[in-house]
Amino acid sequence: MIGPSIDEPDALTRIFATIRALLGKFTRNDERIYMVLLAALTGLIMGAISALFRFLIYASHEVFFSHGTTSPFSLSSITAHPFAALFQVSLPFLGALIVGLLIYKVLNLRGGHGVPSVMKAVATGHVNLPPSMAVKSSSSIITITSGGSCGPEGPIMEIGAVIGSFVGSKGELSRERIGTLIGCGAAAGIAGIFDAPIGGVFLALELIMRDFAVRTFGPVVIAALIASMTSEALLPNTPVFPFLQQFLQSELMDTVQFGFGQAAMFSLLGIVTGLGGALLVYALYKAHDFFQSLKMPTWMKPALGGLGVGLVGLAFPTVIGEGYMFVNDAILEEFGFAQMALLIPACQFLLIAVVKIFVTSLTLGSGSTGGSFAPAMVTGAMIGAGLGILCNYFAPNFSPAIPIFALVGMAGCVCGALGIPIAAFLIIYEITGADYRLMPPLILTVSLSALVAASFRQGSVYTLSLLRDGFDVEEAMKKVVDPLSRVPIAKIMSKRFTTLSPEDELNQVLDALSTSDDDAFAVVGEGGHLVGMISTHDLRAVLNLGDLGAAIIASDAADTHPPMLYPDSLASEALNIFSTTDADGIPVVEKPGSRQIIGMVSRVDVLSAYRQAATKDQ
């Protein structure tokens, strides 16, 4: 567990304490500035780690998978070197075997996605993330560089979350601020990988933190900007899609003339990419269930998945690895070829999309470490390219360029698989140079993809694993934001309360008011049956009647249909009733449909419960 030692602070803790003390001498708002500095430090670290990830992936692609290299292990060298094919089949197998041994045998860790664990930690407030999570995520670089069909985005978010938790713990921050630094680390990781700080910010806010408040926005932005600048400084001129700028400067961008015709095309793209995203989620968890059912050591299962990837790669070498270079080479660099309206290339692209989903399910479903973001992007690009060729075939006069379809398809499939519409739109918009002409197609495609994917599956790649374990992130986040949503009424209701009989006269009601500390009284009939409630507000109305009010009895003055609660109701429901009505007390009855009163809840009870619940979160 990461955290400062109580008895004897370590060196890092003393350094953070010294920085904080120095800040206090120069500004009264040292807490905010201190938080900004820690966010910047998190961004700096993650920028360097992101650059390392990018370098290792780029280097391995050049050695093993690039068609332009003279390496004897490259696909382009198979004819000259007969053993290259065997090597490329065994490479994903060997990489997955190493990962399996490291994660399951040596470190004895639980496999699978780490992002859901981060989401759960932030949602529940257990923000001291173990270093082992970063170690497990770091092993994904072995999976990726050996040809596994996955990406670095999920692992880099996990590593960033651990770094943010570590920095926040050493800085002696509160749980809430450590949670913010976890978001800073995740945003910084994505910003460093894609050189897309805005997309990284919204990915962290939308996926990890689920909080767009001003107090969290500033530090996350700073961390993402620092990470992006650091990564670019350490590894300049190495964008994810090297030929993207060349395409964006070509005349093919002028083919985006968003009107009814193109709106229909991108609507279709949104529907198809939504289906593709849902299929990716389905395939991943079906593969996970299949590998879980196999009667073999856990550490061997990733190797079996890697062997499957290698064998499929013999027929479809383009699905090996994360796939960004194939998108770049097949669509962006040769965008003149992509403009050819041929049905055969359309079928090829769509087939590759299906195969990419299959090999991704083999890689991640078998237990190898890696992210699903890159496979979703590549799958979306293939779907977009295939659909774009068909549109150019049937409507060549007003169809956008095929690479436009591919770029927009990336956002659609990422949204469909990961459930992050805002971040999916912004990341693609940012890496494509923020050309405004792409905004309408992106918004339309992402919106429809989100709707279609949500109608086919309950959760995303990340949330479905949590839902399968019985954990709902949305509900948990509500409990963190509202402490009263964790408190049952049975825990705070008072079983001692003042009651009146339905036949009690006004003077008896007033006597009860003068001798009791209660602000509301239950009018109870035979057998504890609740007739109604009388509050001080109701009594004022009766007293205003003057002498006429003397003839009124308790049952006449009572509200016979008061709001009621049950033992398993939440204190947040009581707060909502007090906030929206004039009730001074709320009766608690046995169950829905019953009028058998068993307790009473006052405003003071709710306030006390809030203070206690909030104190536990500190």
Q: What is the pLDDT of residues 406-464, one digit of tens each?
A: 999 999 999 999 988 999 989 988 887 767 888 999 999 999 999 999 888 777 788 77
At residue 398, does pLDDT exceed 90? Answer: no
Tell me the percentage of the chain whose pLDDT exceeds 70. Answer: 83
In angstroms, the CA 500 to CA 522 distance is 6
Question: How far apart are alpha carbons 76 and 67 in whole angstroms?
Answer: 5
Predicted model pTM = 0.74
Sketch out the chain's domains with CATH numbers.
11-239 (1.10.3080.10), 245-475 (1.10.3080.10), 484-616 (3.10.580.10)
**pLDDT tens string 319-371:** 888 888 888 777 776 654 545 555 667 788 889 999 999 999 999 999 888 88
Nearest CA among 461, 362, 315 for reference residue 143: 362
Query: What integer pLDDT is reported at residue 274 of this predicted model?
Result: 95
In this prediction, residues 488-499 reach a mean pLDDT of 87
In three-state form (DSSP H/G/I as H, E/B as E, the rest C), the secondary structure along 114-165 is CHHHHHHHHHHCCCCCCHHHHHHHHCHHHHHHCCCCCECHHHHHHHHHHHHH
Model confidence at 78, pLDDT cuts 50, 70, 90, reads: very low
Reading the block at residue 307, the tokens are 């062997």
Strands (E), 186-225: none
Instruction: Give yes or no for residue 131 having a pLDDT over 80.
Output: yes
208 vs 341, which has greater pLDDT? 208
Task: State pLDDT tens for residues 140-194.
Answer: 889 888 888 888 888 899 999 999 999 988 887 777 788 889 999 999 999 999 8
**Helix H or strand E encompassing 572:** helix 571-580
CA pair distance 182, 73, nearest whole angstrom: 40
Backbone angles phi, psi at 7, to 5 degrees: -75, -45
Phi and psi dihedrals of 471, rounded to 5? -115, 125
Q: What angle do CA 107, 180, 14 make, to 5 degrees?
A: 75
SS3 316: coil
In the chain, the percentage of residues whose pLDDT exceeds 90 is 25
Q: How confident is the model over 515-550, as pLDDT tens digits?
A: 777 778 888 988 888 988 887 777 766 666 555 556
Q: How many CB atoms lie within 10 A of CB 527?
A: 7
pLDDT tens for 21-65 read 665 555 445 567 788 889 999 999 999 999 998 888 888 777 766
Q: Would you state the pLDDT for residue 452?
A: 94
Q: Would you state the pLDDT for residue 325? A: 80
Q: Which of 261, 266, 268, 271 is nearest to 395 (CA)?
A: 261
pLDDT band at 591 (very low <50, low <70, confident <90, very high): confident
